[in-house]
Chains A and B, each alone.
Chain A
Amino acid sequence: MRTPYRLIEDEDLRAKIRVVQKGDDDYPACLELYPRSPKLLYVCGNLPDPSVRSVAVVGSRGCDPYGRDEAERFAGVLAANGVQIISGMAYGIDAGAHKAALRAGGRTFAVLGCGVDVCYPKENYEIYREMIETGGGVISEFEPKAPPNGWHFPVRNRIISGLSDLVLVVEARLKSGSLITADYALEQGKEIFAIPGRNDDPLSAGCNRLIAQGAQIARDPEDLLAALGLYIEGKNQKRERDILKGALPLPFEAKTKFEHADDFRKVYGCLSSRPVSLDELTVRTGMDIQNLSAILVQLCLSGYAAEETHGFFCKV
């Protein structure tokens, strides 16, 4: 039968599984403080280093490109500055955060809602393996081989928040697991950052409410670095995309050999972080499909736009 998860059979990975008990030396000290902390933790790989700062990046599985980009941007910059990224290895925001941290050469940890030797969803096996191989780890309070039962997930969220110094909520609906994590973080006295979204966007409604309730607004990764006491003026990486702010800059025109740079600008201007359909673009730009597709193909191939799903485009 096809299952949505994958049992880890790799001997090298299995050899790295161990159990940590409450009271042991390497049991995370930060968890011992809390009344409902797990008695046993199964770990594959390492536990987060208590001497290094950790940030939990959480958010919706069904995120939109905006959320995924933001998760990647924050996790990438934080990881590049030596912060450990903790998340839940789910689709969407979680996967984006883990991936960006791995790309930035940082260490990242996943707290699972299934056994520590179960990769769920199985599509994230690459992340699972790489995370362990690069000095990070996978943590779970459930018995090995435990399937990903629905009730596991809200429960494990207290470990995600417990292991981190700060929780970043990227995209969350009004009813979502990320808000449960935020609740735990409040109970545990952690600082909460939320990435603001549009008012009419149900995917950001949870974040906006958190902000209304007093969470900090996460505008740039530097805000978080400052909160962690890691921000040094001028040293931290600048947003890559600042280059792209405003009108299309030179490199864009250099990359495209089309004379109609105006048309390019027009199409690019009609794109946003939310996927726009080809038809809507024809209406907005007033161009016909043939010309529009020529420009979109160029934009996609030169990395300015991306096809989110078939026939829907967004800015990168």
Chain B
Amino acid sequence: MFCSVFSAAIAGVEAVPVSVEADVSDGLPVFTIVGYVSSQVREAQDRVRTALRNVGFCLPPKRITINLSPGDLRKEGTRFDLPIAAAVLMAAGAIRADSLDRTLLVGELHLDGRTAHVTGILPTVMAAREAGCTACIIPLANDGEGRVVDGIRVIGIESLPQLIRYCRDGTVPSAAETGKSADFRENAGDNAAPAVQPDFSDIRGQAGVKRAALIAAAGFHNLLLSGPPGSGKSMAAQRIPTILPDLTAEESLEISKIYSIAGLLPKGIALMKNRPFRAPHHTITAAALCGGGLTPHPGEVTLAHRGVLFLDELPEMNPRTLEMLRQPIEEHRILVARARGSYVFPASFLLVAAMNPCPCGYYPDRKRCTCTPVEIRSYQSRISQAFLDRIDLRCEVPAASYADLTGESVNEISSAQMRLQVEKAAAIQAERYKGTGILFNSELNSRMIGRYCDVSTDAEMLMQAAYRQLGLSARGYHRIIRTARTIADLDGSEVIKEAHISEALMCRCGKESPH
């Protein structure tokens, strides 16, 4: 007898509906799974057979064939255990063939028939809703995550007998609708705040860094921090997500989907409410940074989507890996092409990079710096001009003075205060760029600059003088105008004034070289 149930496979950051077909027919008692499946899926046959026996259902000694369709889509992971079990039960006549109509199933099985947590529930439930399903059966461990999606009935089951009972008489396990799931629901709406949130007021002094962080966050400009070891570059970078505007519901869902697939959703949290902060080590490989694998998985650039990607010790990174960031920085997405298909991952992140100015870290303090000009030059030239061109802001982080560290922390600007300013600037930008497809000043191209960046006469003159005397390039010019646009927005000024250009000139990121 032939039967089929619905499930979904993960492709990139989306879930794609898959139909799981089972056929039980006469022949030698074998159990085969076909349909372009990975070995994880193939192993399902042993888990399913044993789990079914342990809940009191012995498979008939017949030929059982499972097909996962469409056959040209790679299926990976342990999420097909539950649908395969359901399809087999159906084909063997244990449950009614119409009992799982318009119902999508995913889940892993233990040998004793209990269900286990799987990744990618959020996009799966969303895909189920879009495919017109009315219910979604998932492991109880994923219940909270699944319930984030409205407009579809999500049933978390704890074990196979509960599934069988549901199919026979529609009994929904009580735990799935009360008690436990309620907790999840609360958590889902909770702002998953760690006990102690980092805050910019933790940083004493360093007015320059705070200002640069503010500008970077307000216009989503990439930022390069440079300074001696221990001056607080990483500390500042970690605090940038705290001043970015709150995630919109849409963005939150978008990030949660990615984290769900990567299996990185924090325990008990169904929806990401905080902007991600990713700080991969500088030894990271190209595949880990950009996404990769036989069937591509999201990389750090995607995990940092809508948040901050922090690259510490920038010159220590493999130059080839670093250059790969160019496309995602420009296009806010990354195309990963592999033999088994190419996937587009979203990658719209705020890049914060940190570096020492020279191998010992103390240049230009010649009293402490022991590097030769050649060493400094070669250290700085490890980062290509093409890469630096994609960074709008650069800020020096000088070593904190003793007075800064021990003095009274008076009037240290807090993250909350900074975020207010950022949100104000973001609102101005949202209004200005309505319908243009861009969100922030950092995305302005040269044509848009002419349209949206009104420069005052004074500022124009200053810019002219600077262009001549500083030897700027056309690209450098645009970067300064973009930064000045953000500074003007922070100031609430529609016209870019001289002071805005001045400040943009101060924090521009140009190639420097010791004389």
Contact partner, A203, options B226, B366, B373, B462, Cβ 8 Å? B366
| Interface: A301 (CB within 8 A) | yes
Q: In the assembled complex, which residues on chain A have CB atoms less than 8 Å from the CB atom of B503?
A: 289-290, 293-294
* B467 CB to nearest A CB, Å: 11
Q: Is the CB of B372 within 8 A of A279?
A: no
Q: Is the CB of A91 within 8 A of B502?
A: no
Q: Is the CB of B207 within 8 A of A62?
A: no
Known: A282-B208, A309-B364. A297 touches B374 (CB 8 A): no
Q: Is the CB of B364 within 8 A of A312?
A: yes
| Interface: A277 (CB within 8 A) | yes
Among all A-B residue pairs, the 5 with the closest Cβ atoms: A311-B396, A293-B506, A294-B502, A297-B502, A277-B398
Interface residues of B in 492-515 (CB under 8 A from A): 498-499, 501-503, 505-507, 509-510, 512, 514-515
Interface residues of A in 283-316 (CB under 8 A from B): 283, 288-291, 293-294, 296-298, 300-301, 308-312
Q: In the assembled complex, which residues on chain A have CB atoms less than 8 Å from the CB atom of B209?
A: 279
Q: Is the CB of B499 within 8 A of A290?
A: yes
Q: Is the CB of B466 within 8 A of A297?
A: yes
Q: Is the CB of A279 within 8 A of B205?
A: yes
Q: In the assembled complex, which residues on chain A have CB atoms less than 8 Å from the CB atom of B207?
A: 279, 282, 288-289
Complex: how many Å from CA A4 to CA B376?
13
* A258 CB to nearest B CB, Å: 10
Contact partner, A311, options B208, B369, B371, B401, Cβ 8 Å? B208
Complex: how many Å from CA A92 to CA B372?
10
Instruction: Enumerate chain B interface residues (CB-CB to A < 8 A).
Output: 205-209, 211, 226, 357, 363-367, 369, 371-374, 376, 394-396, 398, 401, 462, 465-466, 469, 498-499, 501-503, 505-507, 509-510, 512, 514-515
Q: Can you name 9 A-B pairs with beta carbons within 8 Å?
A: A62-B371, A62-B376, A91-B374, A283-B401, A294-B498, A301-B465, A309-B357, A309-B514, A310-B396
Interface residues of A in 1-35 (CB under 8 A from B): 4
Q: Is the CB of A301 within 8 A of B373?
A: no
Q: Is the CB of A294 within 8 A of B499?
A: yes
Known: A294-B498, A309-B357. A289 touches B208 (CB 8 A): yes
Complex: how many Å from CA A164 to CA B147?
87
Known: A278-B506, A294-B499, A297-B502. A92 touches B373 (CB 8 A): yes
Complex: how many Å from CA A298 to CA B466?
10
Q: Is the CB of B367 within 8 A of A202?
A: yes
Q: In the assembled complex, which residues on chain A have CB atoms less than 8 Å from the CB atom of B462?
A: 297, 301
Q: In the assembled complex, which residues on chain A have CB atoms less than 8 Å from the CB atom of B365?
A: 275
* A19 CB to nearest B CB, Å: 30
Q: In the assembled complex, which residues on chain B have CB atoms less than 8 Å from the CB atom of A65?
A: 515
Q: Is the CB of B206 within 8 A of A279?
A: yes
Complex: how many Å from CA A140 to CA B498?
53
| Interface: A68 (CB within 8 A) | yes
Q: Is the CB of B502 within 8 A of A4?
A: no
* B66 CB to nearest A CB, Å: 58
Contact partner, B395, options A92, A290, A297, A311, Cβ 8 Å? A311
| Interface: A201 (CB within 8 A) | yes
- Which of A201, A279, A291, A296 has most chain B Cβ within 10 Å? A279
| Interface: A280 (CB within 8 A) | yes
Known: A201-B367, A277-B398, A290-B499. A62 touches B208 (CB 8 A): no
Complex: how many Å from CA A68 to CA B363?
16
Contact partner, A283, options B205, B373, B394, B506, Cβ 8 Å? B205
Complex: how many Å from CA A297 to CA B458?
13
Known: A61-B372, A62-B514. A279 touches B499 (CB 8 A): no
Complex: how many Å from CA A91 to CA B515?
7
* B397 CB to nearest A CB, Å: 8
Q: In the assembled complex, which residues on chain B have CB atoms less than 8 Å from the CB atom of A296?
A: 502, 506
Q: In the assembled complex, which residues on chain B have CB atoms less than 8 Å from the CB atom of A105?
A: none
Complex: how many Å from CA A200 to CA B8?
71
Complex: how many Å from CA A288 to CA B490?
15
* A51 CB to nearest B CB, Å: 34
Q: In the assembled complex, which residues on chain B have CB atoms less than 8 Å from the CB atom of A121?
A: 374
| Interface: A64 (CB within 8 A) | yes
Q: Is the CB of B514 within 8 A of A310?
A: no
Q: Is the CB of B514 within 8 A of A278?
A: no
Q: Is the CB of A91 within 8 A of B373?
A: yes
Q: Is the CB of B502 within 8 A of A278?
A: no
Q: In the assembled complex, which residues on chain A have CB atoms less than 8 Å from the CB atom of B466?
A: 297, 301
Complex: how many Å from CA A63 to CA B205?
30
* B208 CB to nearest A CB, Å: 5
Q: In the assembled complex, which residues on chain B have CB atoms less than 8 Å from the CB atom of A279?
A: 205-209, 396, 398
Q: In the assembled complex, which residues on chain B have CB atoms less than 8 Å from the CB atom of A311?
A: 208, 226, 394-396, 506
Contact partner, B469, options A91, A275, A290, A301, Cβ 8 Å? A301
Q: In the assembled complex, which residues on chain B have CB atoms less than 8 Å from the CB atom of A297?
A: 462, 466, 501-502, 505-506
Known: A289-B211, A289-B503. A277 touches B374 (CB 8 A): no
Contact partner, B396, options A68, A92, A96, A278, Cβ 8 Å? A278
Q: Is the CB of A278 within 8 A of B357?
A: no
* B182 CB to nearest A CB, Å: 50
Complex: how many Å from CA A202 to CA B515?
18
* B505 CB to nearest A CB, Å: 5
* A153 CB to nearest B CB, Å: 13
Complex: how many Å from CA A288 to CA B411?
13
Q: In the assembled complex, which residues on chain A have CB atoms less than 8 Å from the CB atom of B376?
A: 62
Q: In the assembled complex, which residues on chain B have CB atoms less than 8 Å from the CB atom of A202?
A: 366-367
Q: Is the CB of A293 within 8 A of B394?
A: no
Complex: how many Å from CA A62 to CA B359?
14
* B511 CB to nearest A CB, Å: 9
Q: In the assembled complex, which residues on chain B have CB atoms less than 8 Å from the CB atom of A203?
A: 366-367
Besides the contacts A65-B515, A311-B506, what 17 more A-B pairs have beta carbons closer than 8 Å? A4-B374, A62-B372, A62-B514, A64-B364, A95-B515, A201-B366, A277-B208, A278-B208, A279-B208, A280-B398, A282-B207, A290-B502, A291-B499, A301-B469, A310-B396, A311-B394, A312-B364
1/0 per residue A43-76: CB within 8 Å of B?
0000000000000000001111100100000000
Q: Which chain A residue shows the least CB distance to B206? A: A279
* B362 CB to nearest A CB, Å: 12
Known: A277-B396, A279-B207. A92 touches B510 (CB 8 A): no
Q: Which chain A residue shows the least CB distance to B373? A: A91
Q: Is the CB of B396 within 8 A of A312?
A: yes
Q: Which chain B residue shows the least CB distance to A278? A: B208
Q: In the assembled complex, which residues on chain A have CB atoms less than 8 Å from the CB atom of B505?
A: 293, 297
* B400 CB to nearest A CB, Å: 9
